Every structure is written in C-alpha cells, then in structure tokens.
Amino acid sequence: MSVHPICECGEREATYHEVVKVNGVVHERHLCEVCAAERGLIQGPIGAPDTDLDTDLTPDLTSGAGPSVSQEPYQGSDAEGEDSEPGGAFGSGAPSGSASGPKPQPTGGGGERRRGGCPRCGLTFAAFKRSGLLGCPECYKTFEKQLTPLLERAHEGGARHTGKAPARALRLSRDRGQGIEDVLGDARERAERIRGLRRQMAAAVEGEQFERAARLRDEIARRLESDGGDALDIEHRDTTGDAADE
Amino acid sequence: MSNGDRPSERDWVETPGILGGGAEWLRGEGPSSEVVLSSRVRLARNLAGFPFVARADRTEREHVLEAVRPVVDGLTPGVARSSGSSGSGGPGGSGDHMSWIALHDSEPPERQLLVERHLISKQHADGTSAGDGAAAPGVRNCSGLSSPRAVAVSLPTERLSIMVNEEDHLRVQVLRTGLDLGGALAAIDAVDDALEATLDFAYSPRFGYLTCCPTNVGTGARLSVMLHLPGLRLTGEIDKVKRAADSMSLAIRGFYGEGSEASGDFYQLSNQTTLGRSEKVLLHEMEHEIVPQVIDYERLARERLLKHSRLMIEDRCARALGLLRHARLLSAEEAMKALSQVRLGVVSGLIRDVDLRRVHELMLLTQPAHLQRLAGRPLDQQERRSARADLARERLTAAERGDSGPADAGG
C-alpha cells in the first residue's frame, strides 16, 4: 500500500483520489471523506442507514479509454449526518419550484421499484452503477448530486448544458407568461452558463484560437439577448463579489 | 395520409433497387471526398413522461412506438425548413418519404441489411441496445429480438434515419456525402424541430436533453466523419492520430461504429462530450479545426508516399485491383482491404478505369447480407466467398470495358 496524501483541507488523510483529464491536461484531486462528501463526490453519511444506499459512486461512464478514477469507498460507519442535506439525496427533498411532473407514483408492483431509489421509476444508484443507464428523466433530479462529478469527468469539465433548447417548449413557456425559467433555467442557472461560455472564450483567446473565441462571443451575445437581462444582473452582482446566497 | 401509393417497408427491403441505390455515403462526392466518405450527425432524444427504454416494459415501449410513429410518418424529409438558415435543402432528397420498419417483426437478413447500410446499430438489430434488462429486473422478456423497436428511413436517399427504442427513445441521424457536418447539422436541427412540434422531449435547463446514458446528456449530439486513412497507416502515423484524438476526447471507431474494428483503413471520428459546449461550437471544432487537420495529415502522407515510394504504392493498388478482378474466393476482410487500396489508387489517379462510386458500391454489396440478397437465398461462408469474388470480378471488369455495369443505381 502506498502512503495516502493529505486532503486539501490539510487535516485528514485523503481517501478519495480523482484524476481528470481536461483538454489534455491532467488534474488530480485528493480529498478526505468529509470533504469529498461535502462536495457531493461520495455519498455523505445520512441519518437512517439504508442498506441500498451505495457509497462507491464511480460507474465507469467512459468504459475503458476514459479518465481513470480511483477512490476508496466510504464505509459510512461514523459521523452521524451533520453534513447531510435535509432529506438526504434519496429523501423527498424535491428541488423547489419545479413545476413539472405529477407526484411520484411507483408504477407496477415489482419489488424493485421501491423506496430508496428514484421516486419516479424506482432505479437505485447501485443499479445505475451496474448498467451505466438511468431509468427515467427524473433520475437526473434524484441523483443530481452523485451524477454531477461523474458528468464533469465524462464531459471534460462540462457540468451545464450549453446549446439548443426545445423550440416549442420555449415558445410555450413564453406565451404562458411564465418567463423562460422552465426551459432555460432560472437567472442564476443562466448566469452560470454565460460565465462558463466566458471562461471558454478566455481560454480560446489565450490559446490564440480567435475564430473559436469569436463564435463564443456571438453565442454569449445571443444568450444575453434571449435572456432579457436578469441573468446579466446576477452576473454583475456575482462578479462584484456580493452575490446573494440562495 | 396513410400508405397510399407508398411501397411498404417490405417492398423496399426486397426491392432490387436497394442493392444499388440509396446510401448517401456511396456517392463519393462532396468536399474532401478523397479522404472523407461521409459526415453524420445524430441526436439522442427521449420523450417526457416515459421511463427510458432500459427501464420500460413491453407495454411502455409499445406506447413509445405508437406516440412516435404518426409524427415520423408526417415528416417531409425532402422539404427544407422555410426559415432554414443555410438553404441546404431538406434532410432528405427532394422526393423522399419516410418508411417505417418494425424491427421486432422483421427477419434477421432484413435487420442485417440495415446494419450494413449504417441505418441501424448492431445493438438495435439484436434488441440489446438498452442493456440486458439488468437495469430493470422487473422488466423481463423485453430485451432481445422481440423487444418493440423500429427504424424509420427516408427513401430513396437514406439520408435520414430515426431509430426508435434504441438506447434512447429516439436516435435521429442525418448523413451527408463528403465533409459536410454543417449541412448535416442544419438538416437534423430542422428534423428535431419538426419532431418537437408534436412530441415533448425530456429536457432540463441544467442538463439539457436528458438521455438514458449520462455520456450523451446535454446536446445529445454526436458529430462524426468516416475517414479513409490508408496513407497514415502506411507511414505508421495512424497511432499518432489515435493518441491525438484521445487527448482531445474524440473517439476513433471502425467502419461499423461502436465496438467495431477499423476495416480497410476506414475510421470513424466523433466527439465524446455532449455537455457544456453548444452544437455550434462543437461543429466548428470538428469541421474547421480537427477534421481538416487530419485530412491535411493524410494528404501529406499520400504525397510523401507517392513522391518517395511511388512504385510501391502503384504495386499495391495494382495488386489489389488484380485480386478483385481475378480471385475466385474472397473473404470479407480481404475484399475490404483490397477495396481500400483500390480506393486510394482511384483518388490518387493511379487507377483510371474504375470510378469511386463503383468502389463504394462494392464495399457495401460484398457484405454478407447484401450478397445473400443478391443471390436471393441464404449462403454459407464458402458460398459467400465465392459470390463475393464473382461480384467483384463482374463489376470491376465491366468497369474496365467501360460498361456502366448491371443493376446500376436508380435514384
């Protein structure tokens, strides 16, 4: 066994090790259990122990050729739930304000569609890890926390959709006077997306990829226009350092 | 609006026309066609309110088919979107219509034929694209050949195909000859809008289009080009390209996509990441940065070879043509390798009495299901080798005589 490095917090031994390749550059990250759980990289300790809850959250999304990640599974034996989210990742805590979707209704009587998984389709995270396939659109919400680091690895740091939005859905949500939150996300979401684009543009300029930078600039302009301004407001607040917490 | 005078799908698959026509990539035209056979864009889309295919039982999968079919039947692939940006026409040919093929009701040779024509994946043919049912232990008897699934193809050009109940509810693909990812993307964008005008797609502001496998989430778009890289293989530089692709998160696959080996120096290059970059940025990267670089490398390699090892190249091409014109038994691999050499000879001007389309046609027609369709009966391996050699001999000596050859494409 090799000696474990110390976590970024400088306090504990790092047991979570991650190697990510972004644009050909290798980034390493070594965290202790507590920090890793805080960042949603591993399942944090949750109040009621559920034997179905899985702690080693590393399905190999990229099957083989992708970035390699090694980590030691968290055993979940101590530190009762101080850092856990209200309700826990598998609890009822649905994101606020989501207009869509009826109440979770386990369809069919199979024992598999049970508590502990996605409230909509019943898929457990353990089952996802085995197959690499999710069960339904709702799973993205249910497992958002666990999926986020996996998505960043699989998509070279990309964590947020930037691109086409369904045209009719967008039009409808505007017609209904609901604004564009349903489709493009709330102001914070949109601002984050634009920040991401700005970062990409800066990187393109740095790499003297000016054509790409110009394209990104156009895309930013287009998005700011369609966003109508509130995303911009938030962005200014954020960049001046007095962003309000949500 | 029902079938009317359209041929039924079975008519199409059984028509002799399929053996010569269609298949956009056969044309061998378009920008950079000496290196790029075809450009392809595919989109992964799922219906809101349904479980993903991997977790859908038989009834739910049937419902997906029922929901999708009328919308797909109503597509007019030959018509360009009125507000279309690039004026590159509709996704299909001007006279195209959509033909729906229920794969769970189809015969194995039919499915194999579709695989060989790049219209469905091998997994979709076998009904294994949505995993082995492990994701849904309650869902039994639903993976495999009888799993309700379909493909819709724009005929006769085959430029647009839509797999239904593959890994995602919808896998839409548009194909263009040569390097034309921009045209393919504009066309598929129009199809996507037309579908979305009726269907509700699963989408989230944060993650974009939601897909069964998280590696496709976001744009759900995969842009790919089919490259012919004999020069880089001969100079031994192909591994460099592979490493470079790897470092740029691109995938290099074989002639038949995921899990297939490169055959006859044909490689499929595609993006891996779908989250965080828009379709436009991705398109720019692929079409204006990455692919042109690979094309330049290949051109350079060919130039160098022709300059310094001309006799060796001429010899290889001539031998390959000789093999195809005179052999009595040909394995699939042997035929593909020889056709690759001949292709290099044709585009380099070393072989003048064979045209590119003829070479492409043989690449398709010498595949097992096509050979059996030509023969009109099942053939065992030895019979296929013989039939393959006969076909190559016949088509290539006809070319030598300057005939247009038998059963030429109508389309």
SS (H, E, C) B227-251: EECHHHHHCCCHHHHHHHHHHCCEE
DSSP B78: T
Question: What pLDDT, on the 0 to 100 scale, is given for residue A50?
Answer: 36
Which of B143, B132, B70, B52 is CA-nearest to residue B104? B143
User: Could you tell me the two tokens for A57?
Assistant: 């959250």
| Alpha carbons B97 and B73: distance in angstroms, whole number | 8
- Chain A interface test: which of B53, B55, B286 (most A C-beta within 10 Å): B55
Question: What pLDDT, on the 0 to 100 scale, is given for residue A107?
Answer: 42
Report residue B328's pLDDT band, with 50, 70 and 90 as the boundaries: very high
Of the listed ranges A63-72, A205-214, B10-19, B94-103, the least confidently predicted one is A63-72
Which of B172, B154, B207 is CA-nearest to residue B12? B154
Question: What pLDDT, on the 0 to 100 scale, is given for residue B369?
Answer: 92
Question: What pLDDT, on the 0 to 100 scale, is given for residue B351?
Answer: 95
Comparing A21 with A224, which gets the higher pLDDT?
Answer: A224
Chain B, 348-407: which have a CB under 8 Å from a chain A CB?
none
| Alpha carbons B206 and A151: distance in angstroms, whole number | 12
Report residue B293's pLDDT band, with 50, 70 and 90 as the boundaries: very high
Contact state of B276 with A159 under an 8 Å Cβ cutoff: yes
Is the separation of the CB atoms in B271 and B249 below 8 Å? yes
Question: What pLDDT, on the 0 to 100 scale, is given for residue A204?
Answer: 82
A80: β partners? none
| Alpha carbons B202 and A205: distance in angstroms, whole number | 35
| Alpha carbons B70 and B368: distance in angstroms, whole number | 33
Question: What pLDDT, on the 0 to 100 scale, is given for residue B220?
Answer: 97
User: Could you tell me the two tokens for A25?
Assistant: 């550059």
Contact state of B218 with A161 under an 8 Å Cβ cutoff: yes
CA distance A24 to chain B (A): 5
Judged by a CB distance cut-off of 8 A, whether residue A41 touches chain B is no
Q: In this prediction, what percent of chain B has a pLDDT beyond 70?
A: 82
Please, what is the average pLDDT of chain B? 85
Per-residue pLDDT tens over the stretch B331-378? 999 999 999 999 999 999 999 999 998 999 999 999 999 999 999 899
Is the separation of the CB atoms in B141 and B134 below 8 Å? no
Judged by a CB distance cut-off of 8 A, whether residue A187 touches chain B is no
Per-residue pLDDT tens over the stretch A8-35? 777 777 766 666 555 555 556 777 777 6
Q: For residue B138, give the nearest of A113, A132, A196 by CB distance.
A: A113
Question: What pLDDT, on the 0 to 100 scale, is given for residue A218?
Answer: 81
pLDDT above 80: residue B70 = yes
pTM of the full structure: 0.73
Which of B148, B161, B173, B167 is CA-nearest to residue B12? B161
Highest averaged pLDDT of the listed ranges A81-90, A134-143, B400-409: A134-143
Judged by a CB distance cut-off of 8 A, whether residue B249 touches chain A is yes
| Alpha carbons B27 and A197: distance in angstroms, whole number | 39
Report residue A42's pLDDT band, with 50, 70 and 90 as the boundaries: low
| Alpha carbons A173 and A177: distance in angstroms, whole number | 6
**Residues ≥6 apart with Cβ < 8 Å to B260:** B122, B253, B254
Q: Which residues of chain B have a CB within 8 Å of the CB of A161? A: 204-209, 217-219, 275-276
> In which element (H, E) is residue A20 found?
strand A16-22
Question: What pLDDT, on the 0 to 100 scale, is given for residue A209?
Answer: 81
Highest averaged pLDDT of the listed ranges A54-68, B7-21, B387-401: B387-401
- What values do phi and psi take at B378, rounded to 5? -65, 140
Report residue A118's pLDDT band, with 50, 70 and 90 as the boundaries: very high
Per-residue pLDDT tens over the stretch A142-199? 999 999 999 988 888 778 898 898 888 777 766 665 555 666 666 676 777 778 788 8
pLDDT above 50: residue A1 = no
Strand pairing of A16-22 and A25-31? Answer: antiparallel
Average pLDDT over residues B15-28: 63
Question: What pLDDT, on the 0 to 100 scale, is given for residue B267?
Answer: 92
Q: Is B252 helix (H, G, I), strand (E, B) or coil?
A: strand
Chain B, 271-290: which have a CB under 8 Å from a chain A CB?
272-281, 284-285, 288-289
Comparing B198 with A180, which gets the higher pLDDT?
Answer: B198
Per-residue pLDDT tens over the stretch A49-84? 333 333 333 344 444 333 333 333 333 333 333 333
Question: What pLDDT, on the 0 to 100 scale, is given for residue B149?
Answer: 95
Question: What pLDDT, on the 0 to 100 scale, is given for residue B167?
Answer: 95
Chain B, 67-106: which have a CB under 8 Å from a chain A CB?
none
Strand pairing of A69-71 and A25-31? Answer: unpaired
Question: What pLDDT, on the 0 to 100 scale, is given for residue A139?
Answer: 95
- Chain A interface test: which of B43, B204, B243, B273 (most A C-beta within 10 Å): B204
Per-residue pLDDT tens over the stretch B146-188? 899 999 999 888 999 999 999 999 999 999 999 999 999 999 9
Question: What pLDDT, on the 0 to 100 scale, is given for residue B10?
Answer: 53
Judged by a CB distance cut-off of 8 A, whether residue B50 touches chain A is yes
Comparing A170 with B401, which gets the higher pLDDT?
Answer: A170
| Alpha carbons B352 and A115: distance in angstroms, whole number | 69
Helices (H) and strands (E) in chain A, counts: 9, 3
Average pLDDT over residues B221-228: 96
